A and B are shown apart, each in its own frame.
Chain A
Amino acid sequence: MEKRQIKGFVANLNPKKRRNLLLSSISITALLLFLYFSNEGILMGSYGVRVLNLCAVYAVLTLSMNLINGFTGQFSLGTAGFMAVGAYTTALLILPVEIKEKIFYLEPMVPWLKDVHWAGNLGFLGALLTAGVLTAFIAFLIGFPVLRLKGDYLAIATLGFSEIIRVIFTNMQNLTNGSTGIKSIPPIANMWWTFGVMAFFTIFMVRLMKTSYGRAFKSIRDDEVAAESMGISLFRHKMLSFVLSGFIAGVGGGLMASVVGAITPIFFRFILTYDILLIVVLGGMGSITGSIVGAFLITIAKEWLRWLDGGFSLGFVRIPAIAGMRMVVFSVLLMLVILFYRRGLFGGREFSFDWLINSLSALPKRVFSLFKKGGAAK
């Protein structure tokens, strides 16, 4: 009975929808197989897995920033601070008791957290949720004063709070272990975790943007005065977006802690926020697809550009090995995007199979017309 119903459902769809359903199922299956083989170490080594994990974590963080900056139009630079809250919360909850004793040698850890150890996958899930909720709460508190500000004032105030969080973490020796940071964080976040969380938040964002609340966010971005005159409470919706963004950043930070294994307050400097901001810009402000593609592209490109650091030959001159060369090349590329390709890769558009097939089928025609133009010019 059930089977027939599903069959009927598929048969009732129009051919385009049926095609898209098929394509989606194939892609999801392929992705799952890819995840399985990568995670088992068959497809790539631990380095590859680590890079892909970072990609997924950056995708989550980019979604968080794009929600408040790209979709709601509130230029917040607090992501690194929110990540710090999430990362420390997660790390402190999943750190085994004996490692805690070992790490906190300068000053013993606060008693109420000393013997806490949330073990295993379930513990990690709990820790990530706690991290998200705590970060969201802190975003809520910070939101009260800062969301009254606009534009660059908001930017500098959120950056300020992010730095305040970092300064506080540096000084809370018995809670965060100060500037030494926390190491030996259990690497529970395998590819299932990172990609799972990424998929969850991607679906979350897609759904959110389809609801009335998503439209309210975008209307605030496009025109605050008009939105308010149409009955949108600016403060409430900005706050909602800010808190959700904080939640996502907190979970992202928690994942990051487990992926990289060691965190210090320095790790969560404004530079980290800039990194994520630049992914948002490259992918496209206000594009979910752009956030994911951008995160993968930039994280992989950064790794791939490592050969630049090792020195190379241009045929006639030999460039010596200089550490950091890739970051310079990378920042120049980003500047070019900012200056000449301001809307980024996706600029507010989203991926769909229709779009993909349309642009693929239009490709030969476009290439052809390019040649034709060239011919006409002669």
Chain B
Amino acid sequence: MALFWQNIANGLTIGSLYALVAIGYTMVYGILRLINFAHGDIFMMAMYFSFFAITVFYIPWYIAILLVLVATVLLGVLIEKAAYAPIRSAPRISLLISSIGVSYLLENLATVVFTGVPRQFPKIGTLQDNIVIGGINIQQLSFVTPVLMLLLVLALMVLVDKTKAGMAMRAVSKDFETAKLMGVNINRTIATTFAVGSLLAAVGAIMWGQKYPQIQPYVGVMPGLKCFIAAVIGGIGNIRGAVVGGLVLGMMEIMIVYIVPTLSGYKDAFAFIALILILLFLPTGLFGEKITDKV
């Protein structure tokens, strides 16, 4: 029974992390109709930033985290300005190729700057320590992550639903051209979207580092792909959907291996199977809206 609860806690932690990163995918997709392949690499860069700030420069973790968040947000916005903004009016597939190009560039850059040697993610506070509840060992992380995730999502909901910037975001994602005609500042809105997405990815990366402390240049790719899948499960373009999708996917991965341990080697394949099933049977995800092509 103890093992069961540990797995539940584990699933909840992973699920919350997926949710944080999935929001970035879903927001960018909502606005640009683009799978930002570089999002997973922004996540990876945030891990390296943390490593350098804390382990190499000995900055106290509470200051380091702020620096990491700022650096990651800047990186996210810079990528949008350099690689997506110039070809915004090009066919959508060009944008996708550009995001793959950025991903390729960041991975190669990380290999050069940080070398391919795996690094150890620094410990932050006592997050990795265990607490014992009713004879069950559970990491502190498993309590902090879901709570943190929920707080951030609530803040985001307020931003999107209540502020002017949020209204602009909703307008742009509903109808790009009309929003532009109505005088919404497209550039600023898209930049804000990337900033928010990168910020959440950075938080996700720091917490991820507590769970899986190894950093290497390709560390962001798998979580990145899975988080995109989480966003699709929830219904792409929908923030609440991304949260639910992330939790569902995280829980599913952990629980399937818990129930059928022989499948542990195939863990990375579950998400893709889920993706294909969702796309076939529920193409708009759990909360998505149906889009019809006009002929």
Contacts and interface: CB of A to CB of B under 8 A. Distances in A.
Contacts of A152: 33-35, 92, 96
B97 A281 contact: yes
A163 B269 contact: yes
Interface string B103-125: 11101110110011000000000
Contact of A167 (B115, B218, B269, B295): B269
Contacts of B105: 328, 331-332, 334-335
B98 A168 contact: no
B93 interface: yes
A331 B266 contact: no
A338 B97 contact: yes
B268 A167 contact: yes
Given A338-B101, A339-B87, A160 B108 contact: no
Interface string B29-44: 0000111000000000
Contacts of B109: 328, 331
A327 B112 CA distance: 9
A277 B275 contact: no
Given A163-B268, A164-B272, A167-B269, A338 B108 contact: no
B98 A159 contact: no
A157 interface: yes
B275 A164 contact: no
Interface in A289-332: 322-325, 327-328, 330-332
Contacts of A161: 272, 276
B273 interface: yes
B221 A270 contact: yes
- Say what secondary structure dominates the interface of chain B: helix
Given A323-B112, A327-B108, A153 B94 contact: no
A156 B224 CA distance: 12
A155 B108 contact: no
Contacts of A168: 266, 269
Nearest to B273: A164
Contacts of A281: 97
Nearest to A285: B93
A225 interface: yes
A170 interface: yes
Contacts of A171: 265-266
Interface string A16-48: 000000000000000000000000000000000
A215 interface: no
B280 interface: yes
Contacts of A277: 97, 100
Interface in B69-101: 83, 86-87, 90, 92-94, 96-98, 100-101
Interface stretch (A141-149, A182-190, A255-263, A357-365): A141-149
Nearest to B112: A324
Contacts of B273: 160, 164
A278 interface: yes
Interface of B: 33-35, 83, 86-87, 90, 92-94, 96-98, 100-105, 107-109, 111-112, 115-116, 218, 221, 225, 228-229, 232, 265-266, 268-269, 271-273, 275-276, 279-280, 283, 293, 295
Closest 6 CB pairs of A and B: A160-B272, A331-B105, A327-B108, A171-B265, A324-B111, A324-B112
Interface of A: 75, 145-146, 148-149, 151-153, 155-157, 159-161, 163-164, 167-168, 170-171, 225, 269-271, 274, 277-278, 281, 322-325, 327-328, 330-332, 334-335, 338-340, 342
12 contacts: A75-B93, A163-B268, A274-B103, A277-B100, A278-B104, A327-B108, A327-B111, A328-B108, A328-B112, A331-B108, A335-B101, A338-B83
